[in-house]
A and B are shown apart, each in its own frame.
Chain A
Amino acid sequence: MIRLTDIYKIYSDGDSEIRALDGISLHVEKGEFVAIVGSSGSGKSTCMNIIGCLDVPTSGTYQLDGIDVSTMHEKELAHVRNQRLGFVFQQYNLIPKLNVIENVELPLLYRGVPSAERRKMALEALDRVGIADRAKKLPTQLSGGQQQRVSIARALAGQPPVILADEPTGALDSKTGREVLEFMKQLHREGNTIVLITHDNSIAEEIPRVVRIHDGIITSDTRKEAEA
């Protein structure tokens, strides 16, 4: 499903250069649930942004569903993001002046789904995360946990095969964080491919496959066989 081969991401400002990713190869199968763990500045987000087609690697190839994404230009990448990927960000990234349902409809809007169907799909997604009753509220009128659910609903609305979550629990207290994690697990059981970044080892422990990154290099990649 996701196949990164020898990915480098090098930021150079003037004479110094930062090797955010220093040769990463990673293969994620369809239906896997992968946690990326590492200390701050280790390159987790950089890796995730490349997987999410938000950023392009300095070198290396990236295949998504067998298609080489690294050579695509912006318009094609936009379609890939729109149809294959769902993002959940640490800071929710909802558009403040749009209400909850409008936010959830956005990916469908850019996909060209007609308005009535869009509304229906968005409501279904909101229902799945359990806040369909807040559909007409503005994001600022919701708690952090609720906003994160909205952003999950937005990621789910277009039913993309891959869900990418960059520290989705980072801004939440441990109880709401746990709820979000449970939800991710449920999505995994339903067959979604999920890549999740976390700092939190107790969360990482519950995820079947854990990839550790340090200074832009993968230091370990462990799979748990026992799973509920």
Chain B
Amino acid sequence: MNLQQSFRLALKSLGASKLRSFLTMLGIIIGVAAVIIIVSLMSSLTNYVISTFEDMGANLITVSISGRGGNRSVSPEEMQELALDNPDIIGYISPSLSVPATAKVGNTNVTLQATGVNEYYDEIKQQTLQAGRSLFFTDINERSKNCVIGTYLVKELFDGQNPLEQTLSVNGVAFTVVGVLEETANSSSFGSDNALLIPYTTAKQIGRGNISTYSVSAATKDTIDAANDLLERFLLGKFDSDDYFTLIDQAAIIEELNKLIGMMTTMLVGIAAVSLLVGGIGVMNIMLVSVTERTREIGIRKSLGATPWDILGQFLVEACVTSGIGGIIGIGLGIGGASIAANLIGIPFTLSVPSILVAFSVSAAIGIGFGYFPARKASRLNPIDALRYE
């Protein structure tokens, strides 16, 4: 009996009990789909997170200062000086002074964190403008009431209309919108589209706080470590101990995130793998039942000259066809499900091809592996015992 005949036979016998075949496949379908959805979503998420962070400036180092006693801060001038003294290592430095703010236009208001910055901030964060201009040195110097806003505010406060030269009140103080940042995150309230940039000098007046955070860009990607060392030495000179400040560079964050996502992926894939295993056991269970049920058929086939290999092949092919069809359906559902889920979450979908290959080979292997024992049981039946079986 050749392979083609075996396949036709297997399809026929699966077709003879459709509901049962479907239930058997269901385990495989769910397992394969789960593996693909999880791996694809996680890799989509990873790509998205990394590209977001890179958008925010891959050379970025964030300096947070908690300070101690009367010495709570480092002035913007001192920081600026450090940048100017080390042009090979440090690109730009900008204060990043967060001020809780209520932005209001007419009767609409939005609560957010306004950020007090200097004229280098856009450069450091690698942000571009889609309209108007950035804050200038003169805005900082004159403590102007000009601001640059993200597209989330354009949408919320200006109904998507052109906000340039319009007035916006921040904690009751009137500001003029001079620029709009390029949209980066679908104008959602999460992420960098929810931004209100004002001169740090003005922010200091409104918020009355110390400047505890600076955004620093390394001169190039390769000087991130050097910039880190330089900032560390400089701040140690100021505070004696590194308990009073923290340096976080973007590369380290990305690395940490990657590690975290990797761990989560491993865990989730583990769970999915268990469901695939359960699916495999389902196949084995059904095959065992089917062997028992068809003992008499096996006896008849043997009496007509089927060799043990013929019988083994018949049941193996059946198991493989079951898990193969299940695997293909699972792949379809997995790709569909992952792309829909990515859409709902709002991240660009990246298909993980290796996960498809792995999921499919695993489902095929399950067919062979878990189908083998029942098939071997069938092939070893003594013809006369099988024939007499009721």
Residues of A within 8 A of B (CB): 49, 52, 54-55, 74-75, 78-79, 81-83, 87, 89, 93-95, 97, 106-107, 109-112, 115, 154
Cβ A54 vs Cβ B307 within 8 A: no
Cβ B303 vs Cβ A52 within 8 A: yes
Q: Which residues of A contact B3 (CB under 8 A)?
A: none
What is the bound-complex CA distance between A115 and B8, given in angstroms? 13
Closest 9 pairs between A and B when the two form their complex, measured CB to CB: A82-B305, A78-B307, A110-B305, A55-B384, A54-B384, A107-B304, A54-B383, A81-B305, A75-B307
Residues of B within 8 A of A (CB): 1-2, 5, 12-13, 16, 296-297, 299-310, 382-384, 387
Known: A93-B300, A97-B16. A110 touches B384 (CB 8 A): no
Q: Which residue of B lies closest to A95 (CB)?
A: B297
Q: Which residues of B contact A81 (CB under 8 A)?
A: 302-305
Cβ A74 vs Cβ B301 within 8 A: no
Name the distance in Å between B287's Cβ and chain A's nearest Cβ.
17
Name the distance in Å between B388's Cβ and chain A's nearest Cβ.
9
17 further A-B contacts with Cβ under 8 Å, apart from A54-B387, A95-B297, A110-B306, are A54-B303, A54-B383, A55-B382, A78-B307, A82-B305, A93-B296, A93-B299, A95-B301, A97-B12, A97-B13, A109-B5, A110-B1, A110-B305, A110-B307, A110-B310, A111-B305, A112-B1
Name the distance in Å between B93's Cβ and chain A's nearest Cβ.
80
Cβ A106 vs Cβ B384 within 8 A: no
Cβ B304 vs Cβ A82 within 8 A: yes
Cβ B304 vs Cβ A74 within 8 A: no
Name the distance in Å between B16's Cβ and chain A's nearest Cβ.
5
What is the bound-complex CA distance between A79 and B5, given in angstroms? 19
What is the bound-complex CA distance between A102 and B306, given in angstroms? 15
What is the bound-complex CA distance between A97 and B18, given in angstroms? 14
Cβ B305 vs Cβ A107 within 8 A: yes
- 28 A-B pairs in the complex with CB atoms less than 8 angstroms apart: A52-B303, A54-B387, A55-B382, A75-B307, A75-B308, A75-B309, A78-B302, A78-B307, A78-B310, A82-B305, A87-B303, A87-B304, A93-B296, A93-B299, A93-B303, A94-B300, A95-B301, A97-B12, A97-B13, A106-B304, A107-B305, A110-B1, A110-B305, A110-B307, A110-B310, A112-B1, A115-B5, A154-B304
Q: Which residues of B contact A89 (CB under 8 A)?
A: 387
What is the bound-complex CA distance between A78 and B297, given in angstroms? 15
Cβ A78 vs Cβ B387 within 8 A: no
Name the distance in Å between A81's Cβ and chain B's nearest Cβ.
5
Name the distance in Å between B300's Cβ and chain A's nearest Cβ.
5
Q: Which residue of B lies closest to A94 (CB)?
A: B300
Cβ B304 vs Cβ A110 within 8 A: yes
What is the bound-complex CA distance between A70 and B12, given in angstroms? 36
Q: Which residues of A contact B384 (CB under 8 A)?
A: 49, 54-55
What is the bound-complex CA distance between A148 and B306, given in angstroms? 21
Known: A54-B387, A109-B1, A110-B1. A95 touches B300 (CB 8 A): yes
What is the bound-complex CA distance between A89 and B1, given in angstroms? 24
Q: Which residues of B contact A94 (CB under 8 A)?
A: 300
What is the bound-complex CA distance between A75 and B12, given in angstroms? 26
What is the bound-complex CA distance between A106 and B309, given in angstroms? 15
What is the bound-complex CA distance between A75 and B302, given in angstroms? 10
What is the bound-complex CA distance between A21 and B132, given in angstroms? 106
Q: Which residue of B lies closest to A97 (CB)?
A: B16
Name the distance in Å between B3's Cβ and chain A's nearest Cβ.
12
Name the distance in Å between A96's Cβ and chain B's nearest Cβ.
8
Q: Which residue of A lies closest to B297 (CB)?
A: A95
Name the distance in Å between B245's Cβ and chain A's nearest Cβ.
78
What is the bound-complex CA distance between A87 and B383, given in angstroms? 13
Query: By CB atoms of chain A within 10 A, which of B1, B2, B383 has the most?
Result: B383
Cβ B308 vs Cβ A106 within 8 A: no
Cβ B300 vs Cβ A78 within 8 A: no
Name the distance in Å between A159's Cβ and chain B's nearest Cβ.
13
Name the distance in Å between A171's Cβ and chain B's nearest Cβ.
15
